[in-house]
Amino acid sequence: MSRLKYDYIVIEGNIGTGKTSLASKIARDFDTRLILERFADNPFLPKFYENQSRYAFPLELSFLADRYSQLKNDLTNPELFHQQTVSDYLLNKSLIFASITLKDHELELYQKLFNIINPNLPKPELLVYLHKDVPKLKQNIRKRGREYEANIKDDYLEKLEKGYWDFFKAQPGMKILIVDSNQLDFVNNDKDYRKIIDLLEKEYPHGLHRF
The residues carrying an active-site annotation are 88
CA atoms within 13 A on the CB side of 197: 18
Cα–Cα nearest to 114, from 90, 134, 83: 90
CB 144 within 8 A of CB 28: no
Give the DSSP letter string of 7-47: SEEEEEESTTS-HHHHHHHHHHHHT-EEE---GGG-THHHH
CB 196 within 8 A of CB 184: yes
Beta strands across the sheet bearing 85-87: 33-35, 85-87, 8-13, 126-131, 175-180, 207-210
What Cα–Cα distance (Å) separates residue 23 from each residue in 18, 36, 60, 117? Answer: 9, 8, 23, 25
Burial class (CB in 10 A: 0-12, 13-18, 19+), 48: buried
136/142 Cα distance (integer angstroms): 10
